[in-house]
Amino acid sequence: MMCSTFGSFVRAGAVAALALVAPMAGAQTLADALVAAYRNSNLLEQNRATLRAADEDVASAVSSLRPVLSWTASTSYRNSSGNESTSIALELAAQMTLYDFGRSKIGIEIAKESVLATREALVAVEQEVLLAAVRAYTGVKSAAENVAISQNSVRVIGEALRAANDRFAVGEVTRTDVALAEARLAAARAGLAATQGQLAAARESYKVVTGGYPGGINGFPRSPALPSSLAEATATAQRLHPSIRQAQRLVTVAELGVQAAAAERLPTVRGSASVSAADNSISGDSQTLALGLSMSQTLYAGGRLSSAHRKALASRDRVTAAMLQTTRLIAQNVAVSWANIEVARAQIRAIDQQIGAATVAYEGVREEATLGARTTLDVLNAEQELLSAQADKIEAEANYQVALYSLLSSMGLLTVDHLNLGIPTYDPAAYYNAVQNAPHTSVQGESLDRVLRAIGKN
Banded model confidence at residue 1, pLDDT cuts 50, 70, 90: very low
List the single range of 15-24, 132-141, 375-384, 425-434 with lowest mean pLDDT: 15-24
Which residues in 42-192 belong to E strands, given as ranges?
A: 68-80, 83-99
Q: Does domain 2-423 match CATH 1.10.287.1260? A: no
Banded model confidence at residue 281, pLDDT cuts 50, 70, 90: low
- Taking only the tens place, the pLDDT of each residue in 336-368 is 999 999 999 999 999 999 999 999 998 898 888
Please state the rounded mean pLDDT for residues 251-255: 96
Q: What is the pLDDT of residue 241?
A: 97
Beta bridge partners of residue 77, listed in sequence order = 86
Cα–Cα distance, 402 to 29 (Å, whole number): 15
The upper half-sphere exposure of residue 191, i.e. CA atoms within 13 Å in the direction of its Cβ, equals 21
CA distances in angstroms from 53 to 93, 124, 127, 128, listed in the order given: 30, 18, 21, 21
- Taking only the tens place, the pLDDT of each residue in 399-413 is 999 999 999 999 999
Cα–Cα distance, 228 to 233 (Å, whole number): 8
Over the chain, what is the mean pLDDT? 86
Yes or no: say if 356 and 386 are a contact pair by the CB < 8 Å rule.
Answer: no
Banded model confidence at residue 180, pLDDT cuts 50, 70, 90: confident
Its sign, for the CA torsion 376, 382, 385, 391, is negative
- Taking only the tens place, the pLDDT of each residue in 215-225 is 888 888 888 88
Q: Give the angle subtended at the CA of 344 by the CAs of 390 and 213, to the nearest 5°.
A: 65
Report the Cα 418 to chain-centroid distance in Å.
16
Cα–Cα distance, 6 to 162 (Å, whole number): 10
Please state the rounded mean pLDDT for residues 434-440: 83
Yes or no: say if 411 and 235 are a contact pair by the CB < 8 Å rule.
Answer: no
Q: What is the pLDDT of residue 3?
A: 43
- Taking only the tens place, the pLDDT of each residue in 71-82 is 999 998 887 777
Higher pLDDT, residue 227 or 450: 227
Q: What is the pLDDT of residue 160?
A: 80
**Cα(first)–Cα(last) distance of the chain, in Å?**
66
Yes or no: say if 141 and 30 are a contact pair by the CB < 8 Å rule.
Answer: no
List the single range of 14-23, 219-228, 433-442 with lowest mean pLDDT: 14-23
Yes or no: say if 414 and 128 are a contact pair by the CB < 8 Å rule.
Answer: no
Higher pLDDT, residue 153 or 229: 229
How deeply is 58 buried, as exposed, middle or buried, from its count of CB atoms within 10 A (0-12, 13-18, 19+)?
buried
Please state the rounded mean pLDDT for residues 170-187: 85
Q: What is the pLDDT of residue 388?
A: 87
Residue 29 is classified by DSSP as P
Q: Is the pLDDT of residue 380 over 90?
A: no
Q: What is the pLDDT of residue 174?
A: 80
Q: Give the angle subtended at the CA of 50 by the CAs of 241 and 458, to the nearest 5°.
A: 100
Cβ contacts of 83 within 8 Å, gap of 6 or more: none
Q: Is the pLDDT of residue 183 over 80?
A: yes
Pick from 369, 333, 160: which is nearest to 233 by CA?
333
Q: Is the pLDDT of residue 21 over 70?
A: no
Yes or no: say if 174 and 167 are a contact pair by the CB < 8 Å rule.
Answer: no
Q: What is the pLDDT of residue 286?
A: 82
How deeply is 77 buried, as exposed, middle or buried, from its count of CB atoms within 10 A (0-12, 13-18, 19+)?
exposed
Q: What is the pLDDT of residue 72?
A: 92
Yes or no: say if 225 and 236 are a contact pair by the CB < 8 Å rule.
Answer: no
Higher pLDDT, residue 18 or 192: 192
Banded model confidence at residue 436, pLDDT cuts 50, 70, 90: confident
Q: What is the pLDDT of residue 22?
A: 41
Q: Is the pLDDT of residue 15 over 60?
A: no
Banded model confidence at residue 109, pLDDT cuts 50, 70, 90: very high
**Cβ neighbours around 342 below 10 Å, total:** 12
- Taking only the tens place, the pLDDT of each residue in 287-329 is 889 999 999 998 888 898 999 999 999 999 999 999 999 999 9
Q: What is the pLDDT of residue 18?
A: 36
81: phi then psi, degrees, rounded to nearest 5: 55, 45
Residue 173 is classified by DSSP as S
Q: What is the pLDDT of residue 344?
A: 94
Banded model confidence at residue 153, pLDDT cuts 50, 70, 90: confident
Yes or no: say if 152 and 16 are a contact pair by the CB < 8 Å rule.
Answer: yes
Please state the rounded mean pLDDT for residues 237-255: 96
Pick from 134, 140, 204, 149: which is nearest to 20 by CA?
149
Cα–Cα distance, 415 to 225 (Å, whole number): 14
> Which sequence spans correspond to the domains of the chain?
2-423
Helices (H) and strands (E) in the chain, counts: 12, 4
Helix (H) or strand (E) holding 288: strand 284-296
Q: What percent of the chain shows pLDDT beyond 70? A: 90
Q: Is the pLDDT of residue 86 over 50?
A: yes
Banded model confidence at residue 442, pLDDT cuts 50, 70, 90: low
